[in-house]
Chains A and B, each alone.
Chain A
Amino acid sequence: MERVVVSMQDPDQGVKMRSQRLLITVIPHAVTGSDVVEWLIQKYCISEEEALHLGALLVRHGYLYALREPHSPGLQLDETLYRFQTPYFWTSTLWPAAELDYAIYLAKKNIRKQGALVDHEKEHYDQLHRKINHTWDLVVMQAREQLRAAKQRRKGDRLVIACQEQTYWLVNRPPPGVPSVLEQGPERGSCMARRVQMTKNTDFYKQEIECCTKALGRIRVKSSVCLEAYLKFSSQHGPHDPIMSGCLPSNPWITDDDTYWAMNAPNVAVPTKLRVERWGFSFRELLEDPVGRAHFMDFLRKEFSAENLSFWEACEELRHGGQAQIPALVDSVYQQFLAPGAVRWVNIDSQTMEQTLEGLRQPHRYVLDDAQLHIYMLMKKDSYPRFLKSDTYKGLLAEAMILPETKRRVFPFMWKPRHSSLSPALPPASASVEPAATAGGPGGADGEA
């Protein structure tokens, strides 16, 4: 922000500044809201809306202030004049806004115009009076002294300094209801102090060397090849992306019609055409879709190699299952798929089989990884391409659903915006009825908030 503000004040390239008359005083280096917005639009090639937004943020963070009282939020596009805050008061100086300083400021305001303190300022004033009562004389004395010194300055300077101070305190002591822009959330890097103590000893450097050696030895693919892969992926999946290409019959979020979700339910009887097409993109897409996987399993049964998929599924269960179930699962997999003469014996090459059987002596979560990978590759290179060429798959494509597009409602602006509601899940509130709308605009969210 400071970079922006500094370049805005550049005498040649910055915002057009003028001396303005405010009643009888002349204020130099003032700008209007529209000047600022225009400059932003030109410099950063952005829209007016965005420039206004950025301007409003600069005001909110105290880098720009209006010369008129009362100060309203945001950037006004009328003849309101603004000035740039002096770097002394910038938020980046990170000076803690001391209670004492605030007390002096409030005292000055109180003295200068009796009873001009706004409600929350009055509250703060009383609070501070109680808290630092012992030095209150100092506070009042300082306040009077500062006011006296100010009287010796020109009226224009006085006004500017008063505005600067006011802006500073608006940022550091925001009125109730205005969120503080200084709020940063939970502290980060609090463990830095500990980290700094982590000595850069030989172990640390040995690890670094190891990391770098590994990095040097890594096989890298040319960026151009990778970028082409993205092009291919995105164009292949483009028609399947509801945000890019829309979805049939319609996007439930726009038309409130949830047919789309019903037709694409995980275990629907007749899958949509797009869905069946996706199974042809990659083996992973096929397996991840429960309907696709079920059809693939049927196909494998006809080829008498269904045990491969069952084995793979059992391995997945082991890898992602609970720690306590591991020994039992490993044993059951062995009995079903790996033991000599097993009912559903899987055909793994002898080397992998030997290694796996060896590893089974001390079963752990990843003991079947090699065997699983072997079977996965077998299915991917062999059964999967055959599946795609099979009559089964072709039949599925032909029978798949293509939903007609439902016309959007004629008047989209009559779509009723949804607000979040109270819910019975919350502990019972008082008997009085509260208004239903809490958040403005369409509310609600996915389970992840």
Chain B
Amino acid sequence: SLQDGKVIVWDSFTTNKEHAVTMPCTWVMACAYAPSGCAIACGGLDNKCSVYPLTFDKNESMAAKKKSVAMHTNYLSACSFTNSDMQILTASGDGTCALWDVESGQLLQSFHGHGADVLCLDLAPSETGNTFVSGGCDKKSMVWDMRSGQCVQAFETHESDVNSVRYYPSGDAFASGSDDATCRLYDLRADREVAIYSKESIIFGASSVDFSLSGRLLFAGYNDYTINVWDVLKGARVSILFGHENRVSTLRVSPDGTAFCSGSWDHTLRV
């Protein structure tokens, strides 16, 4: 998703653009793939989350089949499908998260508790429960129960906006990246922060974090155009990656763990 109001679906291996949709707002800040791979969801300054079914038929316009699912009172900062194509979880600048039924657009549950804009969310890879974690401008990361809408746990040790949260692959912990130039690891069972990933020479905020498949490495993209790779267990930096010519705004490891991709304000995506 780009700031000029377009959402593009790429084939990352061949670098072909498979689909492109124009959005009515300037900043598209969130996008997500449906688990089946048959639809995408996106949203931004239009305060909505729209779902587009993907079609390979050149004659069909994707925009025509668009479905407006979520409605917030401020910008949409993050969205994610739950385990199926039929429910979507959103986070918004209005300080709330919400769970929606895609088919009807009905609000199934809303989550109140953040004192400021919610910037990110991630679903827990859990076998039985349904929880997710969200991070916001109030410096807090909060874990929610999707069924009851209640906040189960909250962590407030960052010194600035929490830009990104991501669960450790086992689901027992999560990492967060913040404008205070640190990433931190919080354990859910111990109910506290257990590690800080920071270095004096890193003075710009971390915009996006993700774990490698085994959880041993933490990749974090920063506003100083670099990506730092941290050893999760030792707390030390393993490597720094240069290449982007502007802020790294987002970063994700591929589901099979073979590579990770970073997106930046320099108009490129790099694998």
Interface assignment of A441: CB less than 8 Å from any CB of chain B: yes
A276 to chain B minimum Cβ distance, whole angstroms, is 16
Picked from B115, B203, B214, the residue with its CB within 8 Å of the CB of A244 is B214
Interface assignment of B14: CB less than 8 Å from any CB of chain A: yes
Asked if B191 and A220 sit within 8 Å, CB to CB, the answer is yes
Asked if B268 and A441 sit within 8 Å, CB to CB, the answer is yes
CB-defined contacts of A242 to chain B, threshold 8 Å: 213, 256-259
Asked if A447 and B116 sit within 8 Å, CB to CB, the answer is no
Instruction: A238 to B226: give the CA distance in the assembly, Å.
Output: 25
Name A321's closest neighbour in chain B (CB-CB).
Answer: B86
Interface assignment of A390: CB less than 8 Å from any CB of chain B: no
Instruction: A3 to B190: give the CA distance in the assembly, Å.
Output: 35
Give residues of chain B (146-186) contacting chain A, Cβ–Cβ below 8 Å: 147, 151, 153-154, 161, 168-170, 172-173
Picked from B84, B86, B214, B269, the residue with its CB within 8 Å of the CB of A234 is B214
Name A220's closest neighbour in chain B (CB-CB).
Answer: B191
CB-defined contacts of B44 to chain A, threshold 8 Å: 186
B164 to chain A minimum Cβ distance, whole angstroms, is 13
Asked if B108 and A323 sit within 8 Å, CB to CB, the answer is yes
Main secondary structure of the interface of B (DSSP, over half): loop
Given contacts A188-B161, A191-B95, A284-B127, contact A322 B14 (CB under 8 A): no
**Bitwise interface map of A from 143 to 170 toward B, beta carbon under 8 Å scored 1, else 0:** 0000000000000000000000000000
Interface assignment of A88: CB less than 8 Å from any CB of chain B: no
Assuming A323-B106, A449-B8, what are 17 further A-B pairs, CB within 8 angstroms?
A: A4-B203, A185-B249, A226-B190, A230-B233, A237-B213, A241-B216, A244-B217, A247-B258, A252-B258, A323-B101, A324-B103, A425-B19, A442-B270, A442-B271, A443-B271, A444-B269, A446-B254
Interface residues of chain A, those whose CB is within 8 Å of chain B, are 1, 3-4, 40, 43-47, 49-50, 53-54, 57, 179, 183, 185-186, 188-192, 195, 211, 215, 218, 220-223, 225-227, 229-231, 233-234, 236-238, 240-244, 247, 251-253, 258, 260-261, 264, 282-284, 287, 316, 319-324, 365-366, 369, 373, 376, 418-426, 439-449
5 contacts between A and B (CB under 8 A): A226-B172, A226-B189, A234-B214, A253-B271, A446-B271
Given contacts A234-B233, A320-B83, A439-B268, contact A444 B104 (CB under 8 A): no
Instruction: A283 to B128: give the CA distance in the assembly, Å.
Output: 11
Instruction: A241 to B261: give the CA distance in the assembly, Å.
Output: 16
Asked if B169 and A322 sit within 8 Å, CB to CB, the answer is no
**For the side of the interface on B, what is the size category?**
35 or more
Instruction: A323 to B137: give the CA distance in the assembly, Å.
Output: 32
CB-defined contacts of A449 to chain B, threshold 8 Å: 1-2, 7-8, 10, 31, 250, 263, 269
Instruction: A90 to B172: give the CA distance in the assembly, Å.
Output: 44
Interface residues of chain B, those whose CB is within 8 Å of chain A, are 1-2, 7-20, 27, 29, 31-33, 37, 40, 44-45, 58, 74-75, 82-84, 86-87, 93-95, 101-104, 106, 108, 115-117, 119, 125, 127-128, 130, 137, 147, 151, 153-154, 161, 168-170, 172-173, 187, 189-192, 194, 199-201, 203-204, 212-217, 224-226, 232-233, 240, 242-243, 246, 249-250, 252-254, 256-261, 263, 265-271
Asked if B12 and A444 sit within 8 Å, CB to CB, the answer is yes
B166 to chain A minimum Cβ distance, whole angstroms, is 13
Asked if A222 and B190 sit within 8 Å, CB to CB, the answer is yes
A384 to chain B minimum Cβ distance, whole angstroms, is 11
* Residue with the greatest number of chain A CB neighbours at <10 A, chosen from B11, B190, B267: B190
